[in-house]
Amino acid sequence: MTACQILKAEHDRIAAVVNALEVIAAGVDNGQLPAPGTIAGAVEFLRGYADQLHHGKEEALFFPRLV
């Protein structure tokens, strides 16, 4: 896989979690509560994977090449 393909795959994973949170939010609007830990797990994923791992790769490896 190329670096761009890896970043694209990571974007897809992040988007899947965001989409799942949107589904959960719609359920909450209709009175359905998510399973315990679901939202906390998603937030943990977004903070750890997206903010630290993925964005770190973009900032260290990808963005400098764009300048």
Q: Are 39 and 24 in contact (CB under 8 A)?
A: yes
* Rg, C-alpha atoms of the chain: 15
Token pair, residue 43, equals 């937030």
Instruction: Write out pLDDT tens, residues 7-48.
Output: 899 999 999 999 999 999 999 999 999 999 999 999 999 999
Token pair, residue 23, equals 């589904």
**pTM above threshold 0.85:** no
Instruction: Write out pLDDT tens, residues 43-62.
Output: 999 999 988 888 888 888 77
Q: According to DSSP H, which parts of 1-48 are helical? A: 3-29, 38-45
